[in-house]
Amino acid sequence: MRRVVVAGAGMAGVRTAVALREQGFTGSVTLLGEEPHRPYDRPPLSKALLLGTVDDPALDVDFAGLAIDLRLGVRATSLRPDRHEVLTAEGSVPYDRLVIATGAEPRTLPGISGRRDAHVLRTVDDAEALRPVLAARRDVVVVGAGWIGAEFATAAAEAGCPVTVVEAAARPLAGVLPGFVGDVMARWYAEAGVTLLTGRRVAGVAQAGVTLDDGSHLPAGAVVIGVGARPGTGWLAGSGVDLDGDLAVRADDRLRSSLPDIYAVGDCASFPSRRYGGRLLIHHWDNAVQGPLTAAANLLGGDEPYDPVPYFWSEQFGRFVQYAGHHGDGDELVLRGDPDNTAWSVCWLRDGALVALLAVGRPRDLAQGRKLIERGTRLDRSALADPAVPLKSVVRPG
């Protein structure tokens, strides 16, 4: 093997290219990046870059020193696995091994194409386009009260913008977190001076605002759409690479695709989890950091399974929210602390073992809980419910 091509220069692609060098690969490594910017970190986009506290989120990677051929502004348009070629507008790029790391693309709403007052927040250019909106303190309507919607609403409110968030569900993060947690989060919006409209749908983006499903109009100087993302896999059409129902590359537990010599990492790939008994698609930073280490090792001849404890964090309305693991409807819920206070946690147990944890202002719970999840440790439920008892001390004897 002489040539590895990594399609996608987000965090997952960059980490893959760097991991190949760190793990001893001496052949050529080509990193294709669709954007013209040097690869950058995404978490600062939703707050620090918007508010001007960070001007350059570029990753501190010496691509030249690592002999990584970084090609910016080069988008993968199709794949010819029979010829071991990635096609781009600039020509074909041959590979011996390919890593698909093309991330995810934001979902949008009908009628926003070409509108300068309608925005998504996924790239550094998206953040730069929104900075003048916040600087001018314009009225903002945010569509979606998920993670990105809450983070943008937080930044806009801090900048002094009047903010209205429209959410189709009855509460924030419905279907993701328990109802009472969503109800608690809804109060955070009100405390921050943000208007939250739940159970309402946006029928269309109209002139200077949005039209709701009841015919009412919300005026806005800018509309920000945060209704989720889909894997960036459209360029794989007709390639023979298997995709799952979410259109993610259907990787195995070694992060191999269905075709020889092709791997997939990050937001664009799902993988089976023995730990959780199902297939996971994780659109979070930690997966883009950890998965490439396994993919690089296996690409170089290793045989390492990838079965992480998923982890992510969110900063919203003055709270630091962290989540580790993966829970289902049948898991037992245990509350640690009072959600009306600033610090509390929610734990999920399956057959007595901790499988997931949500921590609000309790980073120690998260750190200790993540280790317990990794070990599959069975816990004492009564002790677990006492927030004064450290998580590491609630292990069930025997």
9 has a pLDDT exceeding 70: yes
- Please report the pLDDT score of residue 1 as a whole number: 83
Beta strands across the sheet bearing 269-273: 249-250, 269-273, 278-281
Lowest mean pLDDT segment, chosen from 13-17, 38-42, 343-347:
38-42
How much of the chain exceeds pLDDT 70, in percent? 99
Q: DSSP readout, 170-218?
A: SSTTBTTB-HHHHHHHHHHHHHTT-EEEES--EEEEETTEEEETTS-EE
- Please report the pLDDT score of residue 48 as a whole number: 85
- And the tokens for 72? 């910016």
Cross-strand bridge partners of residue 7: 32, 100
- Please report the pLDDT score of residue 236 as a whole number: 98
Question: pLDDT tens digits, residue range 249-296?
Answer: 999 999 999 999 999 999 999 999 999 999 999 999 999 999 999 999
Q: What is the CATH number of domain 108-225?
A: 3.50.50.60
Q: What is the CA 363 to chain-centroid distance, rounded?
A: 20
Q: Tokens 């937001």 map to which residue?
A: 267
In this structure, the dihedral spanned by the alpha carbons of residues 130, 134, 140 and 146, taken in order and rounded to 10 degrees, is 70
- Please report the pLDDT score of residue 299 as a whole number: 97
Question: pLDDT tens digits, residue range 283-312?
Answer: 999 999 999 999 999 999 999 999 999 999
- Please report the pLDDT score of residue 175 as a whole number: 87
55 has a pLDDT exceeding 80: no
Give the whole-angstrom CA distance, residue 214 versus residue 202. Answer: 9
132 has a pLDDT exceeding 90: yes
- Please report the pLDDT score of residue 355 as a whole number: 97
Average pLDDT (346-366) is: 97
Question: pLDDT tens digits, residue range 169-194?
Answer: 999 999 899 999 999 999 999 999 99
- Please report the pLDDT score of residue 207 as a whole number: 73
Contacts with 159 (C-beta within 8 Å, 6 or more apart), sequence order = 50, 51, 134, 135, 137
What's the pLDDT band for 398 if we cut at 50, 70, 90? low
* The two domains 3-105+229-299 and 108-225 share their CATH topology (first three levels equal): yes
- And the tokens for 16? 């893959």
pTM across the whole model:
0.95
Q: What is the domain partition of the chain in residue ranges?
A: 3-105+229-299, 108-225, 318-393
Question: pLDDT tens digits, residue range 76-108?
Answer: 999 999 999 999 999 999 999 999 999 999 998
Assigned superfamily of 318-393? FAD/NAD-linked reductase, C-terminal dimerisation domain (3.30.390.30)
- Number of residues in the chain: 398
Assigned superfamily of 3-105+229-299? FAD/NAD(P)-binding domain (3.50.50.60)
